[in-house]
Amino acid sequence: MLNPVFSIAHMRSMMPIFYDVVDQLKSALTHRVQSGPQEIDLLGWMARTALELIGQSGFGYSFDNMVDDVPKHKYSMVIKDLVPKLGRLGFARFYILPLAIKLLPTNVRTFIMNITPWKNLHDVRDMANYMHELSVEIYEEKKRALEEGEESVVKQIGQGKDLLSIMMRENMKADTQDKLPEEEIIAQMSTFTFAAMDTTSSAMSRILHLLALHPAVQEKLRQEIIEARKERQGGNLSYDELVALPYLDAVCRETLRLYAPVATMMRKAREDTVVPLSRPVRGVDGKDVTEVFIPRGSRVWLSLLNANRSSELWGPDAMEWKPERWLSPLPESIMDSKIPGIYSHLMTFSGGTRSCIGFKFSQLEMKVVIAMLAENFKFSLPPGKEIY
Ligand code: HEM
């Protein structure tokens, strides 16, 4: 039921929301550089933009006025701190918490969590509770508008074109056996925000960093966008015009290849499995190993980053950031490879049934934001500071 939400038709219909948010970003940055070049924390602005974009186009909700120096909404702070706080739970988040969720009823789990004297655990609990409460509030507000009729829905932010409105309308029409329970839709809202925000904002920040390091690429990109806008007499590019810009596409693709925002992923083997190796490795006994036995229940860490950076597949320049590589045919080694990723022979958005369902959304977001920034601003690194 979620997949149609990310169809190209939906992406096209979301363009006005995307452009509204990006205009707000443009005003905020223009205001800050009106008296000359300034050192600006673009990582922070990219995080705010990504949250606002998923807020408005995902739920018809605004988290940030994109004016203040620091975002005021509690959600902005909570979502920023969630990953570091989860990190502090260490291995408990992979082993103890999933086990507790599987084995214990909610009330017992909550009781044990509340009496456990562990501040990090309590912080994560409070954050998760807050995110859930806000999702319920947004959901109830949308439900009320939908019950009142379309007139009420179009008066909301997003004018009823946001993903939540689309999902809720579809859910109302669906047969009983196909309907998603309310609590599942509400739970999906936090998943979406979490999955959409840090990933896309770190990809956009990385692009800006790379453009600052490679001024010639920055200028070439700027010219492509200026030309395209001229042909449009200065008007906003449509979805199809924007995604057809080859250099913008190459810059985004190459960044998502070399700097995949999700570097590793974990999977649990559901049955005993033998995984063949692409080439033999020498074991400690000196013998060649050609396959690895993975017993049922083992947790396996997969490196998406290394798959994207393999010099055997991408050639000897695999570790270099070269947008141009996407403007000519890719090496046969990668074309013939069986990389199972859903996007461009890359593992960036994973593969298979649990791959990223927001990858088209994120590409569009990156293109709308980077096109506006490259057209209107010049980026360089602050003098005397090294940024990695
Ligand atoms: C550059 C940006 C993004 C990257 C690199 C990325 C990457 C990924 C990866 C690797 C997964 C698989 C994770 C796993 O199975 O452990 C995933 C899942 C997911 N992504 Fe993305 N993502 C991005 C943007 C987005 C956006 C913008 C949305 C929503 C609008 C989104 C929604 C999701 C959801 C809902 C899942 C879970 C799918 C499932 O488990 O069935 N992602 N993403």
Residues ≥6 apart with Cβ < 8 Å to 27: 66
Give the closest residue (by CA) to ligand 1 atom 30.
Answer: 358
At residue 269, φ and ψ (nearest 5 deg) are: -70, 125
Distance 194 CA to ligand 1 centre (A): 9
- The predicted pLDDT at position 388 comes to 67
Contacts with 246 (C-beta within 8 Å, 6 or more apart), sequence order: 224, 326, 327
- Domains in the chain (CATH in brackets) are 1-213 (1.10.630.10)
Question: CA nearest 310: which of 341, 352, 289, 284?
Answer: 341
**Ligand 1 neighbour 356 (Cβ under 6 A):** yes
Q: Which atom of ligand 1 lies at the shortest distance from residue 50's CA?
A: 27
Whether 259 is in the pocket of ligand 1, judged by its Cβ within 6 Å, is no
DSSP state for residue 94 in the 8-state scheme: T
| Residue 100 CB neighbours (<10 A) | 14
Closest-CA residue to 61 (of 75, 40, 71): 75
Ligand 1 contact, 191 CB (< 6 A): yes
Nearest-atom number in ligand 1 for the CA of 188 is: 35
Q: How far is CA 344 from the centre of its chain?
A: 17
362 lines ligand 1 (CB under 6 A): yes
Please tell me the distance between residue 350's alpha carbon and the centre of ligand 1 in angstroms. 8
Any atom of ligand 1 within 6 Å of the Cβ of 294: no
Query: Distance (Å, rounded) from C-alpha 358 to C-alpha 149?
Result: 28
User: 56 C-alpha vs ligand 1 centroid, how far in Å?
Assistant: 18
The tens place of each residue's pLDDT in the chain, 388 residues long, gives 444 457 888 889 889 999 999 999 999 999 999 999 999 999 999 999 999 999 999 999 999 999 988 888 999 889 888 888 988 888 777 778 888 888 888 888 889 889 989 899 999 999 999 999 999 999 999 999 988 888 888 888 878 888 899 889 888 889 988 899 999 999 989 888 989 999 999 999 999 999 999 999 999 999 999 999 999 999 999 999 999 999 999 999 999 999 999 999 999 999 999 999 988 999 999 999 999 999 999 999 999 999 999 999 999 999 999 999 999 999 999 999 989 999 999 999 999 989 999 999 999 999 999 999 999 999 999 888 776 6
* pLDDT value, residue 113: 87
Q: Comparing C-alpha atoms, which of 219, 308, 293, 328 is closest to residue 258? A: 308
266 CA: nearest ligand 1 atom = 16
Distance from Cα 203 to the centre of ligand 1, integer Å: 13
- Confirm if 62 and 53 have CB atoms less than 8 A apart: no
252 touches ligand 1 (CB under 6 Å) = no
Reduced to 3 states (helix: H, G, I; strand: E, B; else coil), residue 155 is coil
Question: Which residue intervals of the chain are DSSP H helices?
Answer: 8-32, 42-54, 74-88, 96-103, 106-115, 119-148, 150-154, 163-173, 182-213, 215-231, 239-243, 246-258, 304-308, 311-314, 332-335, 359-376
Q: Is 356 annotated as contributing to ligand binding?
A: yes
Complex-level ipTM? 0.98
Tell me the pLDDT tens digit for each residue of 4-25: 457 888 889 889 999 999 999 9
Mutation pick for ligand 1 pocket among 49, 356, 367 (CB with most ligand atoms within 8 Å): 356
Separation of alpha carbons 244 and 267, rounded Å: 35
Query: Could you report the per-residue pLDDT of 317-372, keeping only the tens digit for each?
Result: 999 999 999 999 999 999 999 899 999 999 999 999 899 999 999 999 999 999 99
